[in-house]
Structure 1
Amino acid sequence: MEFKDLEIFQLVADKGTITEAAKELSYVQSNITARIRKLEAEMNTPLFNRHRRGMSLTPEGKKLLTYSKKILLLKEEMKRVVQPNKEPSGKLEIGTIETVIHLPKILSSYIRKYKDVDLSVFTGVTKNLVTEVLNHKLDGAFITESDFDPDLMSHEVFQEELVLISDTRVSTLEELKEEPILCFSEGCGYRARLAEWYKDQNISPKKIMEFGTLETILRSVVMGLGIAFVPKSEVKQLEADGLIQFHQLPEQYSKIKTVFIRRADTYLTPTIEKFIETIEINKQKNSFL
């Protein structure tokens, strides 16, 4: 079995057709077909169901796909480990929740210093970002602190204070309990904290409205659509401009840390090592925590 056979197998599984896989690799279709048949002969079992719409994995094929991904990831890690230590370069894919206020400082410091790194940043909620890191789809991610999977390692970045915000109509905390909650999708750390507070008050939110961006949530609060639980640092100016008002919740709900996570079992390349080092330098310089 060759690594290339596994790479072709994974691509066909992803694309669902020999035609699409051949087009992406610039191979003739017969070459792809022969490689798949060779792999099936070595495994002594069909790996794909063939049908008019294309190809789909058999149960055995799904099992092989899991091991194939692990093998190819280990191959890439092996290549990195045996190479001599060098300056950061290549791709670095980082995930982040939307409200990491210090992220621009960290990214600009890193990019200015390491110009050979192709850095990409993806946004999401904490739960989804954890899954992406665990599945090797992201090199690391900024998330809100929670109970971590043992396969992850975390580095503290900064601490936030969360505040409940509403429009400027005079309201008590009791009255706000009846207002719709405006928040990110399930898996958001801020949403989870607010849910804890509601639970401890023995009440259930009347209505929850999910949004994709912080900007939309804040504009909706200003318009009186509902309330939101967000980092104070993100909304200070809105409060100073008289567009919203703050409502404090007890510290056990309002104090929260942002951390950077990565897989604990992967080789620490110079690219990711220097990224973590940049976080630490900025943390000390700007007193994030």
Structure 2
Amino acid sequence: MELRHLVTFHKVATVLSFTRAAAELNYAQSSVTAQIRSLETELQTELFERLGSKIQLTGAGQRLLPYAGQIIALIDEAQAEAKGSTEPSGTLAIGTMESITSYRLPPLLELFHHRYPRVQLRLRPSLCAETYQALRQGVFDVGFLMDTRTEYEGLNTVVLAAEPMALVAAPTHPLASAQEVTVADLNQAQVLATEVGCAYREAFETELTKGSGEPQQFLEFGTIEAIKRGVTAGLGISLLPRITVEDELSQGTLRQVAWEPPFELFTQLAWRHGRRLPRELQLFIDQTLTLIQEEQSAQAETA
């Protein structure tokens, strides 16, 4: 089994695209395809299912992926040790969601860019449900989650912070000026939301369903920025992480509706249970915890 074939397999499995894998590995796409076929021939099993223009891992591919990741990490570590290099290096595939990428990660990305330039951070947009699966399969090295629960089968997690939520509306919306808002009131309003698979959308939907007994009809948007624009335009209300609407609330373009969610969400960092943590992954975990602690200390001092 050739190492380069495993590297190519791991890359294709990570991005689920032969074209994108070829670009990131600086190979011709035909070379990527040939290497995967060679590996499948050697193992006498298919590693990917071809579904038109899309691909997904087969059961055999899912079983091979964690081992490929471990082998590649060990080779990288062995090379670094042999060279006597003390500078962290390597590539980390990070599953994350828009709210965390845009509002939590910039200081961490800046730190790694300047202090650890040889560590490549590859951010993979992913909803929480997708991140769970990708971490278990070894597609992501580490992932950020925002959920009501903090324990997951097959994963190690650390809670970074409680994530306050805010139900927001345009200043002209009837609920924006109401002194008290009930679930029954919310059931009469148009709700703008993220896609299915987002934990806080599902928790909110559960609460609204309790009140009406019927599934709530959501107007789905692809991004938080699109949701905020829709709410500002008066299309409806939306429950979002407060950190994503701080500017709009302070500027008065959005108002917080007088309804407190009966659930609490936590931003968390997760990785696959039992895996040996390479140096760059342990560094990423440590630096994430340090920055979050510094941020919370700064907030406490200004409170």
> Scaled by the length of structure 2, what TM-score is found?
0.72
The secondary structure found in structure 2 opposite 1:249 is coil
Distance 1:81 1:245, change over 3 A: same
Query: Which position in structure 1 is the counterpart of 2:23?
Result: none
Query: Which position in structure 2 is the counterpart of 1:285?
Result: 294
The secondary structure found in structure 2 opposite 1:131 is helix
8 Å Cα contact 2:46-2:61 kept in structure 1? no
Distance 1:23 1:131, change over 3 A: same
8 Å Cα contact 2:66-2:138 kept in structure 1? no
| Partner Cα distance (1:32, 1:282) in 2 | 40
Q: Which runs of 5+ in 2 are unaligned?
A: 19-26
| Partner Cα distance (1:71, 1:232) in 2 | 40
8 Å Cα contact 2:150-2:159 kept in structure 1? no
| Partner Cα distance (1:283, 1:95) in 2 | 18
Query: Which position in structure 1 is the counterpart of 2:95?
Result: 95
What's the CA shift for 1:89? 0.9
8 Å Cα contact 1:134-1:152 kept in structure 2? yes
Distance 1:265 1:95, change over 3 A: same
Q: List aligned pairs for 1:45-56, cutoff 5 A.
A: none
Query: Which position in structure 1 is the counterpart of 2:111?
Result: 109
Q: Does 1:39 align with 2:42?
A: yes
| Partner Cα distance (1:5, 1:109) in 2 | 31
Report sequence identity in percent: 19
Amino acid paired to 2:132: V
Q: List aligned pairs for 1:7-156, cutoff 5 A.
A: 7=6, 24=29, 26=31, 39=42, 62=58, 64-80=60-76, 84=81, 86-100=86-100, 101-145=103-147, 146=149, 148-156=151-159
Amino acid paired to 2:88: P
Amino acid paired to 1:157: L
Cα RMSD after superposing both structures: 3.7
1:179 to 177, 184, 189: 189
8 Å Cα contact 2:7-2:72 kept in structure 1? no
8 Å Cα contact 2:5-2:36 kept in structure 1? no
8 Å Cα contact 1:178-1:206 kept in structure 2? no
What's the CA shift for 1:208? 0.9
8 Å Cα contact 1:133-1:141 kept in structure 2? yes
| Partner Cα distance (1:189, 1:162) in 2 | 12
What's the CA shift for 1:162? 0.6
The secondary structure found in structure 1 opposite 2:275 is coil
| Partner Cα distance (2:195, 2:266) in 1 | 19
Larger radius of gyration: 1
Distance 1:264 1:199, change over 3 A: same
| Partner Cα distance (2:75, 2:222) in 1 | 39
2:283 to 274, 278, 283: 274
| Partner Cα distance (1:163, 1:47) in 2 | 47
| Partner Cα distance (2:204, 2:41) in 1 | 55
Q: List aligned pairs for 1:200-279, cutoff 5 A.
A: 200-204=210-214, 206-250=216-260, 252-253=262-263, 255-279=264-288
What's the CA shift for 1:205? 5.1
How many equivalent residue pairs? 264
What's the CA shift for 1:106? 2.0
Query: Which position in structure 1 is the counterpart of 2:167?
Result: 164
| Partner Cα distance (1:5, 1:93) in 2 | 18
What's the CA shift for 1:271? 0.8
8 Å Cα contact 2:96-2:126 kept in structure 1? yes
The secondary structure found in structure 2 opposite 1:287 is helix
